[in-house]
Structure 1
Amino acid sequence: MNRNHPRLTALLILIVAALTLTPVVMLLLGSFSEGLTSFGSFTVDKYVEAYSDPYLLDVVVNTLIFVVGSSLFATLLALFLAYLNIRTDIPFKPLFVILSIVPMMIPHVLFAAAWALLLNPSNGVLNQAIQLIPGLENVAFNVYSLTGMIFVEGLLNMPVAYLIIAPALSSFDSALEEASRVSGAGVMKTLFRVTLPILRPALLAAFILSVVRVLAAYAVPRVLGTPGDVDVLATYLFEMISTGFAPDYGQAAALGMSVLSAAIVLIVVYRALTAESGKFVTISGRGFKPGVIHLKGARLPLLFIMAILSFVMIVIPVAQLLYTSLIPYAMVPGPKAWSLMSLQHWTTMFDDEVTWQALKNSVFLAVVGATLGVLLSLFVAYVSVKVRTAASTILETLTFLAFSFPGIVIGIGFMWFFVQTPLYATLTALLLAYIAAYLPYGVRPLASAFVQVHAHLEESSLVCGASMLTTMRRIIAPIILPGLISAWILMATMFMRELTVSVVLSRPGTEVLAVRILDFADDGLWGKLSALGIVMILISTALVLLAQGVGKWAKRRPEAA
């Protein structure tokens, strides 16, 4: 196997570089070109036009407020939930732990649409309900604003921040906090003087990763920002390539280079923070016991707050989609609404040929794309973990680079590439772009699984005459099966809900569900949007259950044999 390592590593570097660097290079070249039809006619005019637009300053200010506000809200909310779930004796802890990460399963475009239905200033269901309260007849929350965008995007990014902060809290040695309290400090003083300073790397890492994700966000700005005339860089870039008689891809590429550069810098900072987390280790070789803080009289109030948060993050959006799919127009739940409920929106949605095509395309991309993505991730993760060479480090860096790709920006890069090839406006183009954008999501769980596989198992197989592929198929793959299933589920759900790359690359015949839902939102067809959204959630859930069932079947096969 060692003889094959250099060849395998070189091949993987070529494949991953083609996937991750091609759109970046094309974006750079495109930013110096006149347009898609005159690629190679180099000019700096596009940079001048892009950065001399007086409206750009407003867009940048909106983007900064949106990105910082959403990331700060997501990080603080994640810290609050993680602290209560891990360090306190709050009731129903296992349930709240699961509920804290469930929002990851809801597509962003559906989550944004649900809150548009709930809090739009004209006929939002929650606004109508609030106005029925005496004295609040004129009160209406406007979700089509920067504040509304920050609120919804913060809720969507909270699970990512939670998954970074929670492990740090779990590994925290409570002896330090106990020493603080013995010295006379109260719970809050200990929290701010001891706990939070030690958690600083995790908090900063969660915040920066959230900044990268919000910078790349498109669903919330499009669904909530565009109706309120609040443009951020993602929507501003998309308008450049989708409005008018002559979309300006060169100008979009010029501005996109700045967004991409900022995202790459942030990812480098994120990796530096996570690499230095060892300096803040509080667990030594001695045994330690994670301390549990007794909430006493605060248990019930905090339990109520946790229940409300879980209700807001999960129950309300999904219930609103189901409710809207059954009523003819927006109205407050009540006897009249119940009497008018029907399956009309479901019927018209299923009679729509474009929707059926989008459904088939999304399922194909989710199943085939995730399978190919996991296959590539399997070898990339193996080389990254098991082959410690300069080349494997390059491979790992190229793979992780995709984390910094804002979807709209990298979609424009792929557009410059695919329009020069026969792949333009095909599902293959979307498939390649999906794998390139989400490869790290497949590599991460598999890399964690490979760490647990001892080299002796591979060596024994090789000594017995098995080839590398046979060893991978017969020895390694069965051992890391849970990691394979996790990677497949993660990539399949990501592909099923993908919007930002799709909105740039999809064309008639290659529409996907997320783009179709966005079309319904633009046309104000909220009933059809909600019905299709429920279908989308059900398909994602079915893919997860299918993968888990296949995993259980695969585990039983060796026992039966």
Structure 2
Amino acid sequence: MAAGTQAPPSPPPPASTPMPRVRRRRRFGSRTVIGGLAILAVIYLVAGPLLMLVLTSFQDTSLGLVIRPPFPWSLQNYVDVFGDSGTYSAILSTLIFSAGSLLVAFAVSITCAWLVERTDLPARNAVFVLLVAPSGIPALILAISWSLLLNPNNGLINTLLRLPFGAEGPGPLDVYSLPWMILVQGMSLVPMTFLLITASLRGVNASLEEAARASGSGFSTIVRRITLPLLRPALIGALIYQFVTVVTALDVPLVLGLSGGVSVLSTEIYVASNPVGGLPNYGVSGTYGMFLLAVSLIPLLFYNRIIGRSQDYATITGKTFRPKTIALKRWKIPAVLFCWGYIALSFVLPMLVLLWASFQPYLGVWGLDALDRLTTAGYGEALGGAQFLDALRNTFVLGVAAALGGMVLAMALSWVIVRSRSRYRALVDILAFVPHALPGVVIGLSTLVLYLILPIPIYGTIWIIVVAMATQYISLGTRLTTAGIAQIQVGLEEAAETSGAGGRQIWQRVLGPLLRPVFLNGFLMIFLASIQNLTLPLMLGSNDNVVLSTLIWRRWDYGDVTGAAVLSVTMATITVIAATLLRRTTGTRGL
């Protein structure tokens, strides 16, 4: 063929020769398998409590709970609940209590999270640890400590306030009122809310804020137009989670509300389940639970719309970034006073009351005479026996197992919710959120009944509490991991897949390292929530699975204030150590 002459094109195949068809086989990668197993696991864990809640609400349980057919079906529970004017008074009190508590919790948490993560606040790691530490104190004991501080008759703060004026009688502050319930409950929400926000705030790309600052935008404009919108999935997820926490909270309303005549929905459920006389009415309790479930699921629909546009909030890309530390300058002193003032109010004062009570043979009148009664005998008695060692071991097994299982399951579910294109992903998110909307007494009761029927030998062991606890805190993990995965640009996973990485390698090399702060924060939160939870260990407890929270309750119930205070101080110490380890593990700056 002559040089420069092009070869003639190849003739097309004969019309009779069919073109080869490429058959595409559907691939089920490891991520799909993991997601499917996670969905099956959450269905197994959630279906029991949910089914039990529905069954009890439609049963006449005035003579006891029937767990085998034929069920005595009835609508009388709904007639009794919604035909009672007291129900609507309790709903109004619940809404005011919830709104006020959330306002306190989020105002403090957002401010402190931004100061700790993004500014040159002095001793910010110490602030981090002490903000998280109160979560290790059971809410029951926290409410009791504030009762000792603000009791109208002989509370320490009221005694000190009356002293300069020589006043007598009760007051001037009354902790048994709705405003103080709001303040105490709001402070109890701060540790979890703070942890839910810090991981996402740490993942916001500071270059976006710096670009706005270079364009002449002021601080308030940057926060309003950039920082808060990018944190929207995390903030809304935390808001919905904590909203349900408040409406189902029992400890603070029980200790402070009932004494002051303030009734909320959670106390109505408790009174129906634990009457002073007669049999428990689980049907009325289940009806209230169904109402709380409906109230909780309504805001979740709005949250699913936010997650459906998760790529709008992705700030973690393939480019490296490092958040810029903002100098507080003249605001440093007010910031320090705000953080340490709150720590003193939420942690130091309650701990001082508990410490004082732990060194007293009995809790008498405040005064100099009480100094003569100081003794360490309570520590030797409470911490020296085999019962304490068994409870301590069971507490660590419960916390670690529930946290590890809950977070692994939460990460798999969140990947399905955020990355999957299935039309059922919103249903998966709702299913994962359902346990948080169920009262703890319902989860405990249904788990107890379930493993009395199933041939799985975990009844009476610590593992039945682990299963119930992991079920209750699945939603806590998914609120955090869903926001974390939403911040990771999907292009990183696609790039790894294009390079030949499989699902396991993508989790190990891409998602795992980027979600490490989220996982550690979630692990700590579930660990702390599990060790201080009282309802489930009480419902599922036996002599072989006693944990610290039930041991504290037994001491308090028996009137042993000193022993309960000693164990509460011990639990708070464990929390401080866990929070310190978390802060060091996440690779943050030194103290």
- For the superposition of Structure 1 and Structure 2, which TM-score range results when normalised by the shorter chain? 0.7 to 0.9
Task: Please list every run of 5 or more consecutive structure 1 residues that lacks an aligned counterpart in the other structure.
Answer: 553-561
Once residues 17 and 328 of structure 1 are traced to their aligned partners in structure 2, the CA distance between those partners, rounded to angstroms, is 50
Cα contact 1:161–1:210 (8 A) shared by 2:
yes
1:268 to 301, 307, 313: 301
* Corresponding residue of 2:285: 252
String of CA shifts for 1:197-219, please: whole Å, max 9, x gaps: 96995766654443222112122
1:501 to 533, 536, 541: 536
- Name the aligned partner's letter for residue 344 of structure 1: A
Cα contact 2:418–2:485 (8 A) shared by 1:
no
* Corresponding residue of 2:469: 434
Instruction: Summarize the Cα distance change of 1:13–1:301 in structure 2 as closer, same or farther, 3 Å threshold.
Output: closer
Q: What SS is found at the alignment partner of 1:147? A: helix
* Corresponding residue of 2:184: 152
* Corresponding residue of 2:152: 121
Cα contact 2:465–2:540 (8 A) shared by 1:
yes
Report deviation, 1:533.
Answer: 0.8
Once residues 333 and 393 of structure 2 are traced to their aligned partners in structure 1, the CA distance between those partners, rounded to angstroms, is 47
Report deviation, 1:330.
Answer: 3.4
Q: What SS is found at the alignment partner of 2:174? A: coil
* 1:30 equivalent in alignment to 2:56: yes
* Corresponding residue of 2:36: 10
Report deviation, 1:87.
Answer: 7.3
Cα contact 1:458–1:475 (8 A) shared by 2:
no
* Corresponding residue of 1:239: 271
1:210 to 230, 242, 264: 242
String of CA shifts for 1:242-299, please: whole Å, max 9, x gaps: 22331111221122100111112233334445666877999999x9997958663x65
2:259 to 198, 217, 227: 227
Cα contact 2:241–2:479 (8 A) shared by 1:
no
* Corresponding residue of 2:527: 492
* 1:538 equivalent in alignment to 2:573: yes
Once residues 294 and 127 of structure 1 are traced to their aligned partners in structure 2, the CA distance between those partners, rounded to angstroms, is 36
1:359-374 superposed matches below 5 A: 359-374=392-407
Instruction: Summarize the Cα distance change of 1:126–1:419 in structure 2 as closer, same or farther, 3 Å threshold.
Output: farther
Report deviation, 1:361.
Answer: 3.7
* 1:45 equivalent in alignment to 2:85: no
Greater Cα shift, 141-150 or 222-231: 222-231
String of CA shifts for 1:101-128, please: whole Å, max 9, x gaps: 4434443233223222222223322223
Greater Cα shift, 317-326 or 104-113: 104-113
Once residues 29 and 315 of structure 2 are traced to their aligned partners in structure 1, the CA distance between those partners, rounded to angstroms, is 42
Greater Cα shift, 123-132 or 451-460: 451-460
Once residues 83 and 490 of structure 1 are traced to their aligned partners in structure 2, the CA distance between those partners, rounded to angstroms, is 19
Q: What SS is found at the alignment partner of 1:37? A: coil
Once residues 6 and 205 of structure 1 are traced to their aligned partners in structure 2, the CA distance between those partners, rounded to angstroms, is 25
RMSD between superposed Cα atoms in Å: 4.8
* 1:398 equivalent in alignment to 2:431: yes
Cα contact 1:30–1:416 (8 A) shared by 2:
no
Once the two structures are aligned, what percentage of the paired residues are identical? 26
- Name the aligned partner's letter for residue 318 of structure 1: M
Instruction: Summarize the Cα distance change of 1:48–1:262 in structure 2 as closer, same or farther, 3 Å threshold.
Output: same
Greater Rg by CA: 2
Cα contact 1:216–1:408 (8 A) shared by 2:
no
Cα contact 1:260–1:409 (8 A) shared by 2:
no
Once residues 516 and 429 of structure 2 are traced to their aligned partners in structure 1, the CA distance between those partners, rounded to angstroms, is 22
* 1:525 equivalent in alignment to 2:554: no
Larger helix percent? 1
Cα contact 2:415–2:485 (8 A) shared by 1:
no
1:45-194 superposed matches below 5 A: 45-82=76-113, 91-93=122-124, 95-135=126-166, 137-138=168-169, 139-163=171-195, 173=209
* Corresponding residue of 1:555: none
Greater Cα shift, 475-484 or 415-424: 475-484
Report deviation, 1:536.
Answer: 2.0
* Corresponding residue of 1:324: 357
TM-score under structure 1 length normalisation: 0.77
Task: Please list every run of 5 or more consecutive structure 2 residues that lacks an aligned counterpart in the other structure.
Answer: 1-26
Instruction: Summarize the Cα distance change of 1:58–1:399 in structure 2 as closer, same or farther, 3 Å threshold.
Output: closer
String of CA shifts for 1:49-71, please: whole Å, max 9, x gaps: 23334432332232222112211
Cα contact 2:304–2:426 (8 A) shared by 1:
no
TM-score under structure 2 length normalisation: 0.74
2:549 to 506, 514, 517: 514
